[in-house]
Structure 1
Amino acid sequence: MLMTYSFGDPGDLPPILIAHGLYGSARNLNVIAKRLSATRQVISVDMRNHGDSPWSARHSYPDLAGDLAEVVTGFGGVADVMGHSMGGKAAMALALLHPAAVRRLVVADIAPVTYNHTQVQFIHAMRALDLSGIATRRDADAALKADVPEDGIRAFLLQSLDVKEKRWRLNLDVLEAFMPQIIGWPDLAGRFDGPALFLSGGASDYVRADHRPAIRALFPAARFAKIPGAGHWLHADKPREFEASLGIFFGANGSSGQGQTPES
């Protein structure tokens, strides 16, 4: 069972379930989860092989969807679901394989396609870090800088470092072994006919116009919107706009959120 974090109280609407991206954890989105919980119960999770959730020898999207389905079952059987990046693919797989578990779906800056880039270089950088000489997060930041020069990415990765225990809260070996599947997309039967919002960063190229046929084949009710000025980590770049988009789309009327640029 995944590690879950619950905010707010159950109400008339189902809870919101939040699934983070690769190398992340629930803590990356817990500020937004807490703010959304003013009006809704919100459940955030550590995905398998991340954070404080159990490690597993498998990391495919059907596996991740099964984990999320188990969480939804434990919180009443249906949820509004938001997933970012890897979590977005897991959320899409959940909606396709367990459609009764999902009322509304938000997919943040990812499409149901195979990407050409890999993220394995960050695994190599984390594995190469000599944790025996690391006493503080600042030490780790300085040591990691040569292999990960981007300040934002380095800060993101270091959120998964347990300095006291001198260990990464990530199953690096399994994530590396399953990297082709993580950046890929499985051939899943079925489609999700419910409301779905594909919310992208205006400065990101993860969801392109040529991805739309693949999206609409699986999610015929898909709508598209961008948050101007946000990159792939749109929830970190524009947290208030991201929060507003989720709050309004998951609300009763489902209208487009503040800060979005609606698209056709």
Structure 2
Amino acid sequence: MLVEFGGAGQPILLLHGLMGRASTWWPVARWLTAYGRVVGLDARSHGRNPHRGGHWRTPDFVGDVADVLSQLGPSVVIGHSMGGLHALGAAAEHPELVRAVVVEDMAVDLRGRTADGWRAMFDAWPTPFPSLGHVHEFFGALGPYFAECVEERDGGYRLIASIDDLFEIAGEWGEHDYWDFVERVRCPLLAIEAEHSMMPPGQQAEIAKRADGRHLIVEGAGHVVHNDAPDIYRGAVEAFLSEVLSR
């Protein structure tokens, strides 16, 4: 499912992270509309995408992105976490459809990691949350982000995405590496890394190096850089887009 954020001209496709949905991009999409038509994709099993019940391999998600890009035409693709991996895949598999790519706090080699860490985190959440106010209180600075990711059902607020599906998606990352995606990227690339990243050290710098791109570490930021350091994130992306779109 696509979410139209507005703007006109150059297509800009936004891809969310594992627990997110397209609407979590709204604070970023508002200023991106100055650069083109901004569209967000709800990945399968997320948001209002009706796809449920399997096919959680990274190539499946990349195929979905490619289907959207074939409708939009050559696009700037901006991805956070899981969405960053899918953005790299789209740039590698369909170079004619990706004009530039921004990857926010994502690695391509998570082999050996399991979904157990995710499971422990989810188990610590006091779900169902009694109200959206409780969601905001529990997640603090990330409250607005997670408020977009829940819906009211079964006596409270729960993640829209199936947690079991999320475990399967994250589990697949622990079985394969995707350096091949990076090696085949031919468009301009910006890798934005959180100082307090969830990803293996050094990998995001290596992604930028191998793709002949740029790498930025944002001091003080956690995994959702565009939420934790919105001004720095915006400045980096705007500078990147201004250069790319002037070519």
Per the shorter chain, which TM-score range?
0.7 to 0.9
> What is the aligned-residue identity percentage?
26
C-alpha distance 125-234 of structure 1, shift in aligned 2 (>3 A): same
Q: Contact conserved, 2:109 with 2:173, CA < 8 A, in 1? A: no
Distance between the aligned counterparts of 2:75 and 2:198, measured in 1? Answer: 28
Cα deviations by residue, 1:196-222 (Å, 9 ceiling, x for unpaired): 1111123436363356446644x2x22
Let me know the Cα RMSD of the aligned residues. 3.0
**Counterpart residue identity of residue 20, structure 2:** G
Unaligned runs of 5+ in 2: none
The residue that corresponds to 2:151 in the other structure is: 162
Which structure is larger by alpha-carbon Rg, 1 or 2?
1
3-state SS, counterpart of residue 7 of structure 2: coil
3-state SS, counterpart of residue 229 of structure 1: coil
The residue that corresponds to 1:173 in the other structure is: 164
3-state SS, counterpart of residue 101 of structure 2: strand
Q: With structure 1 as the length reference, what TM-score do the two structures score?
A: 0.77
Distance between the aligned counterparts of 1:237 and 1:211, measured in 2? Answer: 18
C-alpha distance 210-179 of structure 1, shift in aligned 2 (>3 A): closer
Distance between the aligned counterparts of 2:149 and 2:193, measured in 1? Answer: 24
Unaligned runs of 5+ in 1: 256-264
Distance between the aligned counterparts of 2:60 and 2:148, measured in 1? Answer: 24
Higher helix share: 2
Distance between the aligned counterparts of 2:65 and 2:99, measured in 1? Answer: 14
Q: With structure 2 as the length reference, what TM-score do the two structures score?
A: 0.81
Alpha-carbon offset, residue 18 of structure 1: 0.9
C-alpha distance 94-172 of structure 1, shift in aligned 2 (>3 A): same
Distance between the aligned counterparts of 1:152 and 1:140, measured in 2? Answer: 11
1:200 pairs with 2:221: no
3-state SS, counterpart of residue 17 of structure 1: strand
C-alpha distance 214-241 of structure 1, shift in aligned 2 (>3 A): closer
C-alpha distance 248-173 of structure 1, shift in aligned 2 (>3 A): same
Cα deviations by residue, 1:149-170 (Å, 9 ceiling, x for unpaired): x645677545322126755310
1:92 pairs with 2:91: no
1:191 pairs with 2:184: yes
The residue that corresponds to 1:259 in the other structure is: none
The residue that corresponds to 2:213 in the other structure is: 222
